[in-house]
Structure 1
Amino acid sequence: MTSLNAVKGTAEAPNTEVLVVGAGPTGLTLACDLRRRGIDVRVVERADRLAPGSRGKGIQPRTMEVLDDLGLAPAVRAAGGPYPRMLVRRPGRPVAEHDMVERAEPRAGSPYAEVWMLPQWRTQELLYARLRELGGEVAFGTAVTELAQDATAVTARLSTGGTVRAAYAVACDGGRSTVRAALGIGMTGTTVDPEPSVVADVRLSGLDRGHWHVWQDDTRGALALCPMAGTDTFQLFARHAALEEGSPPEEILRRLLATRTDLSPDQLKEVAHASQFRVNAALAERFRAGRVLLAGDAAHIHSPAGGQGLNTSVQDAYNLGWKLGLVLRGQAAEALLDTYEEERAPLAAQVLGLSTRLHGRAARRGRETQQLDLAYPDSSLSRHPAAPHPSPLSPGDRAPDAPLTAPGDSAPGGARRVFDLLRGPHFTLLAVGDAAPPVGLPAYLRTHAVAATAPYAPDGLYLVRPDGYLALITEDPGEVTAYVTGLASAT
């Protein structure tokens, strides 16, 4: 792939609005979000099918809220399950049983209380099915071999011989992103563990599927077998292990079972997928170069500890989708796209630090990994009026769920909860109590008059972005008008 260079002069008009490079969780989430906004999307994927393997198996509560908004929460809940308790075996010690995840019941503001297990391959299947329902498709076996951009569009040459010209392109092509390399964007980071690890999806006989089995040995290295919810497989994870070239994966994994566990190698019946990797933590030096943006692993690489990688990547897409949508429909200035890096790069750096701290530790995963507390208080899109509103919420906070009315009362459009009003590709203005909303607001913003209910109290105007974060809390309708007017001019 050649370096991406600006092409001067007038070029032909784009034949699609957004080119998404890569059909992993990031690219599929972005494509779904754009399609529901009516944006024309072309998704290309180098591989000939969706990536196999269960590697990213934890859907954090905040990501469940994203999938809920995309219409996928029921399917995700049906396909997965809660994390099982761990049985940890150490040489010379009795077997210990404990929870890796902090158990919690749904709360008023958080309908999804704890991480949900779903193999990554299944998450991708559900996202792909949703994309097709929305009229999108993926061109498999299609790589981007060359990129160029000018003032109006990006031109991509494809391995199949054709070209795509798009108003914008988004690199969702993983940690070894060829698009990022073509842009000349470096990665700054560190090696978390210099020794390789192996992850595999296997079928075993005679092993209890009600527990996550761990053999912890500081000399030989840890090995874990976790039953994958909704499947008949286990995810095998072995630290400080490698797949040897020329040796069948079955042979290597049977050897690992023999040397690191009390299982018989013959209990391994099938290896559905196996791969090895080294744990690195790295952040792209920038997330945007002209009309090309980076998302997911193309922008940041994580340790798998704490289940942050897939989740952070999905939320990159969720942050970027509404911004591209408004810009492409002429409802916001192109400068809005600069807020993508402004908001996501600091959070990605924060999550990288968390994943690195958790690597190799058996600490219970709780609130800090659920991503419900991630916020954008310092973003230029979070407007703090000179006279702060007395709400316990602040601009930049995630907008929590809440019941709208007492049982038996009516609610806007039959909605029962705040999330019912937020669901969809629009901004939402909650006119709480006696607060009077402004008139003449754009069509992408929906207004609902609701009774005050904690934490949406006291009375006021609560403006919620399409990605579920509070943009503004005020009693002055003029400030709401000024906010949306500002999107159309500059951010």
Structure 2
Amino acid sequence: MSRTDVLIAGSGPTGLTLACALAQRGFAVRVIERRTAPHRESRGKGLRAGSIAIFKELGAAEPLIAAGTAGVVLRKYFDGEHVNDTPTPADAGLLIGQWQTEEALRDRLAALGVHVEYGAELVGITQDEEGVRVELANGGVIAARYLAGCDGGRSTTRKLLGIPFEGNGDKEPAMVIGDVRAPGLGRDVWHQWFTSEGGGMMLCPMPGTDSFQLQASPEQDEHGEPLPPSLESFQRIFDRCARVPGIRLEDPTWLSSWRVNVRMATRVREGRVLLAGDAAHVHPIAGGLGMNTGIEDAAALGRALAAALAGPDADAALDAYEAERLPVAAGVLADTAERYERVMEAVRTPGRGTEVGLD
């Protein structure tokens, strides 16, 4: 049975940030990931100043700053007509695909001698005063002094611990999302189309690629039920909202749906197991705070685990992490819920929209 100081479940931005923070301090760390390979999905596409500062300390910021875009212009259309162009605030941060953020963190982690272990699914957790024993779906067992659950909103770690995930969420999707190409559409602005009938579509050019991240109101079938995301559905929504003839969407490399969920774990520590990122809290996307809050969780947890591993009072260090981050999570949930409502109201007015969520 292999052993390590800290085992991290999940190789998203939260887990990778934590791994870099610990490896940089000289601790033994392993990262397991249920996926069999890295993804290339744009997902969380904005790095705020606090995250960039953390990445600078970890030595991972330079390639992201070089690849990303700052100062994005939001081009607003209403009922197919161009209304105005709105620059994002100067401090809005960096536009960059989540897969690129993860790639930069993996590269930094590899330079520190650690590689993500893919195809490793966590299925069991036991712990005692000496450490944690993790069982994998393939029959493997890993022993660690601590386990960090950074495995997303459907966290297996949280579920195995029986930690309640309290809050509320919508059953139906509020948005369909994906990565698509749109040959012939300008890539110098973030296109945002809304209509007087309700609904809309946004196409954001992702740096370093020839694709756009698409966000749109879902189509409904004849029974009023939302249709699943598909290229055909994306094209129909585009034609209805954008009213730009000759543009054909193609090459969908990511198709998904997004539901409004406002939930947080009642605690982020269970003995030697801790939660961070979406495993601990999920909330509306307005303001782009989700991934960034997880990155800040990871930085705080890195400090706490380093103190616990090196110092005489591990419990105090880990309790301090929970005392610091739970109130932050609660504040972010309230803040983003309010931002989301502002955005939903703003898009009904020509020329206004997502920028109100950045204020």
Number of the residue aligned with 1:206: 184
Task: Check 1:187–1:246 CA distance in 2 against 1; reply closer, same or farther (3 A cut).
Answer: closer
Task: Check 1:242–1:326 CA distance in 2 against 1; reply closer, same or farther (3 A cut).
Answer: farther
- Secondary structure of the 2:154 match is coil
Number of the residue aligned with 1:56: 44
Using CA pairs under 8 Å that are at least 6 residues apart, name the structure with larger relative contact order, 1 or 2. Answer: 2
State how far apart, in whole Å, the 2-side matches of 1:151 and 1:15 are.
Answer: 15
State how far apart, in whole Å, the 2-side matches of 1:230 and 1:52 are.
Answer: 12
Structure 2: gaps of 5 or more residues: 344-352
State how far apart, in whole Å, the 1-side matches of 2:113 and 2:196 are.
Answer: 51
State how far apart, in whole Å, the 1-side matches of 2:233 and 2:276 are.
Answer: 34
Number of the residue aligned with 1:102: 89
CA contact (8 A) 2:75 2:82 kept: no
Number of the residue aligned with 1:32: 20
Task: Check 1:221–1:245 CA distance in 2 against 1; reply closer, same or farther (3 A cut).
Answer: closer
Task: Check 1:247–1:367 CA distance in 2 against 1; reply closer, same or farther (3 A cut).
Answer: closer
CA contact (8 A) 2:205 2:211 kept: yes
TM-score by length of 1: 0.66
Q: CA deviation at 1:333?
A: 3.5
Larger Rg: 1
Number of the residue aligned with 2:262: 281
State how far apart, in whole Å, the 1-side matches of 2:100 and 2:51 are.
Answer: 15
State how far apart, in whole Å, the 1-side matches of 2:81 and 2:248 are.
Answer: 24
- Secondary structure of the 2:355 match is coil
Match of 1:156 among 116, 134, 137: 134
Residue 314 of structure 2 corresponds to residue 338 of structure 1: no
State how far apart, in whole Å, the 1-side matches of 2:211 and 2:312 are.
Answer: 48
Number of the residue aligned with 1:20: 8
Q: 1:147 is matched by which residue type in structure 2? A: I
Number of the residue aligned with 1:173: 151
Task: Check 1:79–1:193 CA distance in 2 against 1; reply closer, same or farther (3 A cut).
Answer: farther
Q: 1:182 is matched by which residue type in structure 2? A: L
Number of the residue aligned with 1:267: 248
Q: CA deviation at 1:364?
A: 3.4
Number of the residue aligned with 1:135: 113
- Secondary structure of the 1:364 match is helix
State how far apart, in whole Å, the 2-side matches of 1:48 and 1:143 are.
Answer: 10
Q: 2:211 is matched by which residue type in structure 1? A: T
Q: List aligned pairs for 1:121-132, cutoff 5 A.
A: 121-132=99-110
State how far apart, in whole Å, the 1-side matches of 2:229 and 2:325 are.
Answer: 41
State how far apart, in whole Å, the 2-side matches of 1:213 and 1:28 are.
Answer: 31
Number of the residue aligned with 1:347: 328
CA contact (8 A) 2:16 2:106 kept: yes
Q: 1:90 is matched by which residue type in structure 2? A: F
State how far apart, in whole Å, the 1-side matches of 2:115 and 2:35 are.
Answer: 14
State how far apart, in whole Å, the 1-side matches of 2:77 and 2:15 are.
Answer: 39
Deviations 1:435-459 (A, max 9, x none): xxxxxxxxxxxxxxxxxxxxxxxxx
Number of the residue aligned with 2:347: none
CA contact (8 A) 1:84 1:212 kept: yes
Q: CA deviation at 1:366?
A: 8.5
CA contact (8 A) 2:218 2:229 kept: no
Deviations 1:249-278 (A, max 9, x none): 222222222222213475213112111121
Match of 1:190 among 163, 168, 171: 168
Q: List aligned pairs for 1:318-467, cutoff 5 A.
A: 318-330=299-311, 332-359=313-340, 361=343, 362=353, 364=355
CA contact (8 A) 2:16 2:105 kept: yes
Q: CA deviation at 1:74?
A: 1.4
Task: Check 1:264–1:121 CA distance in 2 against 1; reply closer, same or farther (3 A cut).
Answer: farther
Q: CA deviation at 1:189?
A: 1.4
Residue 69 of structure 2 corresponds to residue 81 of structure 1: yes
Q: CA deviation at 1:354?
A: 1.5
CA contact (8 A) 2:41 2:179 kept: yes
Task: Check 1:117–1:193 CA distance in 2 against 1; reply closer, same or farther (3 A cut).
Answer: farther
Deviations 1:223-250 (A, max 9, x none): 1001112221111001234899998822
Match of 1:256 among 237, 247, 250: 237
Number of the residue aligned with 1:317: 298
Deviations 1:192-236 (A, max 9, x none): 684431111111111111111111125341210011122211110
Deviations 1:11-70 (A, max 9, x none): x9x711111000000000000001011111111100112233111111001111101111
CA contact (8 A) 2:80 2:243 kept: no
* Identity within the alignment, %: 40
Q: 2:149 is matched by which residue type in structure 1? A: A
TM-score by length of 2: 0.90
Q: 1:238 is matched by which residue type in structure 2? A: A
State how far apart, in whole Å, the 1-side matches of 2:282 and 2:192 are.
Answer: 25
State how far apart, in whole Å, the 1-side matches of 2:21 and 2:220 are.
Answer: 38
State how far apart, in whole Å, the 2-side matches of 1:348 and 1:143 are.
Answer: 27
Number of the residue aligned with 1:240: 218
Q: 1:350 is matched by which residue type in structure 2? A: G
State how far apart, in whole Å, the 2-side matches of 1:151 and 1:43 are.
Answer: 22
Number of the residue aligned with 1:69: 57
Q: CA deviation at 1:191?
A: 2.5
- Secondary structure of the 2:113 match is coil
